[in-house]
Every structure is written in C-alpha cells, then in structure tokens.
Amino acid sequence: MLKKLFRFLLPFLIIFVFVALAGILLSTKQEPEKKQETTVLPVVEVISVEPQTVSLNLPSYGVVQPKHKTQLVTEVQGRILEIAPAFVAGGIVKKGQKLALLEPSDYQADLMQAQAGLAQAKAILDEEIARGEVAKIEFKDFDGGVAPELGLRIPQLKKEQANVKSAQAALSRAQRNLDRTVIRAPFDGIIKARSVDLGQYITVGTKLGELYDIGIAEVRLPLPNKDLAYLESIEKPETTVTLTASLAGKQVSWLGKIVRNENVVDEQNRMVYLVAEVNDPYMQQESDIRKLPLKYGSFVNAVIKGRSVDGIVKLPRYVVRDDSVTIIKDDNTVELRDVNIVRTDVDNVYIKGSLKVGERVSVSSNNSLQNGQQVKVLGEEGPEELIEQVAEDDAAITQSDTKEEQGND
C-alpha cells in the first residue's frame, strides 16, 4: 500500500523539487551588465602644415640626339682601296682622321698635268715679257707720238698672265681632287652607319656613311605652355636640368643646361619644347669610371630647375580632391577647404596662401567626411575613448552594488 502511494506521489515530488530549485536560481540571478551605447567616429590620420621655400622643378622627358650629324659623301669617284678599322658602326673617330682611301692614280696624273701646264704658261709669260721689253726699245724713237699698245705687246702680255692664272686654278683643282681621295672625319664623332665596302667603285655624291658629333648632345624636352611661368627666364631659360636613365641595371644621372626655347606650340600635343645640351656625352675629354656615357637614342627623364617660391605647402597628390583638402580643427571637427594650387607633379601638389602654419590636414582616404563632422585623430584620445571609459566606470559601480545586495541577503 505504501509502495503504491509512493509511486503515485513521486512525480509530484520531483516536480516540486525542480520548481523549488528554479525559484532559488531565479532569486539569486544577477542582472545583466548595462553598457551605455557608444558612438563610432571615423578615424583619420593628419599631418601638420609647414610652409617652406620650394624650387618648383619641372618634370619632362626626351630622346638624346647629337647636336650635329652629317652624311659622309664623296666629291670624287674611284675604287675604294682602304677602309680604316674605326670606320664601322659605333666607331669613335677624331677630326681629320682617315676613314677611307680611293684609287688616287688618275688624280695624281691630273695633278702632274696641271703642274706641267702651269710651268708652260709661266714660260710663255716670261717670253712675252721679254718681247715687250724689246718692243719698248724699238718704239723708243717713234716719231708718231705715243707707241701703240699692240706694238708694245701689252694685250699679248695680259693674255699670257691670264693663262698663268688659269693654269694655277687647274693645279689647285687637281690638288684638291687628289686630297679628296682620302676620306676624313669632319669632326670628332661616332660612326652611326657605313654604306660602302672595300673594293667598291663609287661615283661623285655616293653616300659612304653617317657621322654623329660627340662633342654636344641635345634633348628636346616638352612642357605645357603654362609651365614656362615657373622658369627663371622665359625668353632665355638658361637653367640646369638633370637627366636620368636606366643603364646597365642602375639609374644614371647627367647634368645639362637649357640653351633655348623653340617658341612654337606643337600642333599635335600643344606642348612647347625646350632644348637641353650636355657637353661631352661620350666622356672623351673627361673619363670617370663612376659614370657611364650618355648614348644617343637613349630615352631619359628630365627634371628642369624652376623658380624658388616662398610659403609653399607640399602635400601628397592623393590628399587633394576637387581642389580642396580636409582640415581637422582643434575640436576634431571637419572643414572642407578650397585651396590655391600653384602646380602639381606626379607625386605632390604645391599649395600657396590657403593653409596656415600648424593646421592639420587629413591624409586618410575617407571621401564620406562632411563639414562639421566629428572625427577621431589617429594617435590621440578622442570622445570615443571617453565614452568607453564612462561605460566601464558605470559597469564597475553596478557590479559593486550587486555584490553588496547579495551580502546583505
């Protein structure tokens, strides 16, 4: 009987125990920690404005070319008997150096013939002078007054004098033609190309090759017309220019000088060209193992030295958007300010008269900032940290009060 009663009451007893335990748990639970809602502020990085004196250098580019180049052509004809070892593409030659020799025998014969003709003309002239002296004696006692010129052989004398001059000219021409059988370099240069070979018969005007002067190199540098205002002088822009190129796996620089302005706006690209010169590009006069020659045909980047301007603020180019920058005020609010851009280059923007010393400019790429918006400056304790600190203090006070209540219970 008792067992049946126990089996009947057991489920109710279990339910009562669980209800009692649940009531104990509910009476002892702690309230959840209350945190104050925090405001998430945009984080920006800033730099301080520092005006400085800046040389507004002008970037450009160009291809290195010789100042002088010429086509080597023949002034006489004949067969090529000799070619100098230096008369090859890339060969360096000096002014007056022998490059090739043409067959000279015909011109030597012409020279001998001209020499003989001159000697003969001089002999005839001497004979005519003697005849004139005899004629003067014969007409000394002429009763008819002044002796006639023909009788004194004056016209004959003038004729023979002219013949001598003609023979002298023929001799000079024969000598020049003989000299021209030796092809010589007109200036110090580098052989660009050679068009003939040994044994070849050439006529007058045949192209032998092309020679580039190695004394001075030129580079045409394009610039926008408005950038000429940054040069020290527009009409006579004599200023330095630094040329750089990648040679032998390293960056090499050469120093040159702007010598002239072409003063014409190119119809294709609307650019004005300045011409820079570099002396001794192949380093024939001054050798330096630490430098490399500036070879013709090289593509070079150029930096032209411009005017120095005071009060310039230089900022990274990506900081300026639509001619304005983001200023962070002392209270960490945003001001979008239009600025006066003097010029820009590949990396930087140069601003004048728009920013004060010590002002903070945002360099973070955040396009959603608006005037008056509150921000947090990277590296500084801002409102967000203060809010979090207040929340932590409130949570600590709440937890302390709960423990005291439990202790009293």
The Cα–Cα gap between 66 and 69 comes to 6
* Res. 165: pLDDT tops 90: yes
Among 226-240, 246-260, 298-312, the range scoring the smallest mean pLDDT is: 226-240
- pTM for this predicted structure: 0.67
The Cα–Cα gap between 65 and 321 comes to 40
The b/e string for 362-388 (b: 16+ C-beta within 10 A; e otherwise) is bbbeeeebeeebebbbeeeebeeeeee
User: Average pLDDT, stretch 145-159?
Assistant: 70
Class of residue 115 by CB neighbours under 10 A (exposed 0-12, middle 13-18, buried 19+): middle
pLDDT for position 210: 95
* Res. 397: pLDDT tops 70: no
- CB count in 10 Å sphere of residue 27: 8
pLDDT for position 390: 40
The Cα–Cα gap between 107 and 153 comes to 37
- For residue 329, give both structure tokens: 């005020």
Q: Please report which confidence band the pLDDT of residue 387 belongs to, taking 50, 70 and 90 as the band edges.
A: very low
Among 74-78, 269-273, 375-379, the range scoring the smallest mean pLDDT is: 375-379
Give the DSSP letter of residue 60.
E
Q: How far is CA 64 from CA 89, 153, 237, 305, in A?
A: 18, 68, 19, 19
pLDDT for position 106: 93
The Cα–Cα gap between 113 and 109 comes to 6
User: Average pLDDT, stretch 29-37?
Assistant: 61
* Res. 386: pLDDT tops 80: no
pLDDT for position 194: 94
Among 114-128, 139-153, 159-173, 344-358, the range scoring the smallest mean pLDDT is: 139-153
pLDDT for position 56: 83
Among 156-160, 308-312, 380-384, the range scoring the smallest mean pLDDT is: 380-384
Q: Which of 218-222, 328-332, 350-354 has the highest mean pLDDT?
A: 218-222
- Name the more confident of 195 and 396: 195
Using the Cα atoms of residue 276, residue 277, residue 282 and residue 287 in order, give the sign of their dihedral: negative
Q: Please report which confidence band the pLDDT of residue 288 belongs to, taking 50, 70 and 90 as the band edges.
A: low
The Cα–Cα gap between 237 and 260 comes to 6
> What is the number of alpha carbons within 13 Å of residue 402 lying toward its C-beta?
14
pLDDT for position 221: 94
Tens digit of pLDDT for each residue in 334-358? 889 999 988 887 788 999 888 888 8
- For residue 330, give both structure tokens: 């002392």
For 87-113, the three-class secondary structure string (H helix, E strand, C coil) is CCCCCEECCCCEEEEECCHHHHHHHHH
Tens digit of pLDDT for each residue in 36-67? 555 678 888 888 998 988 888 888 999 999 99
Q: How far is CA 62 from CA 275, 337, 342, in A?
A: 10, 38, 25
